[in-house]
Amino acid sequence: MKPIADGVWPTMLTPFSESNEVDFDALGRLVEWYLAKQVDGLFAVCQSSEMFALSLEERVRIAAFVKEKAAGRVPVIASGHVSDGFEEQVKELKAMAGTGIDALVLITNRLAAQQESDEVLRSNLEKLLAQLPADIKLGFYECPYPYKRVISPELLRWCAETGRFYFLKDTCCDLELLRAKKQAVADARLNIYNANSATLLESLKFGIAGYSGIMANFHPEFYVWLLRNWQDQMEAADHLSSFLTMSSWIEKQLYPVNAKYYLMLEGVLDNYLCRVKDFTQFSATDRHEVEQVRRFSQTLARQYAIS
């Protein structure tokens, strides 16, 4: 099987209706918005999707809907791997695999407790692999919640050598560790996608395959431009990278409420309702900051001739 495509993979949001149901009409508009920005793939049902606050039925419906809506225009991957117990994990992962997604993403912190070693994680992973369909591509996500489990280069090499893993959403935010991981899988089909804006450009220089992070819910077009043009337009890429680093500080606001507000300004979503954050705490100052990021983004898009 071919590797997962290089490029930009947004960690998708989940829109909710006023009655706190998944808003599939808005989700359809969101898929089209990402695709209009020319992203290379979609990561549905992840932490940005509020997966820990979604039922298994909702997770399955969202993954299947996004896959159908994308209609082969880009590949779709999904996780929804949230349970603690092994049997429940097998159940939810098989259900997600049955949606037709292009790869099934495992959450590293679901595979071992925080105090447990990589040996425990590997043992648990071997048991899990034996239960999953052999023909589906697999990936990893170093999800920060409920704790961040950064996979080591040595364990990543072992995973790559199984021939089943194609995708790592890396959240280590450490260039030297990221470089070591890339070297560990240099000859494998497993691609690494950096979630950190500040280190992205430097990581591209040693072969990281792309970006999969929060800020692709604000201005994915800039990450697309960076991935496609950095080698030929390094000065412009450096300038853009500085903007992406500074604007990414807005992640420290009330995310994903703020991203949903940005998408309201884009005419995509109808509200910024969330299950995982108290959206009533999203202040007038917060809104003003998001509006300024969007205005600056629009100005910069004209400068870079991004439609």
Instruction: Give the C-alpha separation, 237 to 61, whole Å.
Output: 38
The domain of 24 spans 7-231
* pTM of the predicted model as reported, rounded to 2 decimal places: 0.97
Q: What is the predicted pLDDT for the residue at 281? A: 97
Q: Any idea what the CATH number is for the domain that residue 195 is in?
A: 3.20.20.70
- Total Cβ atoms within 10 A of residue 205: 12
pLDDT in tens, 260-292: 999 999 999 999 999 999 999 999 999 999 999
Total number of domains constituting the chain: 1
Asked if the structure places residue 23 within a domain, the reply is yes
Asked if the structure places residue 241 within a domain, the reply is no
Asked if the structure places residue 259 within a domain, the reply is no
Asked if the structure places residue 258 within a domain, the reply is no
Q: What is the predicted pLDDT for the residue at 1? A: 61
Instruction: Give the C-alpha separation, 157 to 182, whole Å.
Output: 9
Asked if the structure places residue 59 within a domain, the reply is yes
Asked if the structure places residue 45 within a domain, the reply is yes
pLDDT in tens, 61-91: 999 999 999 999 999 999 989 999 999 999 9
How would you write the pLDDT of the chain (307 residues) with one tens digit per residue? 667 899 999 999 999 999 999 999 999 999 999 999 999 999 999 999 999 999 999 999 999 999 999 999 999 999 989 999 999 999 999 999 999 999 999 999 999 999 999 999 999 999 999 999 999 999 999 999 999 999 999 999 999 999 999 999 999 999 999 999 999 999 999 999 999 999 999 999 999 999 999 999 999 999 999 999 999 999 999 999 999 999 999 999 999 999 999 999 999 999 999 999 999 999 999 999 999 999 999 999 999 999 7
Asked if the structure places residue 58 within a domain, the reply is yes
Asked if the structure places residue 306 within a domain, the reply is no
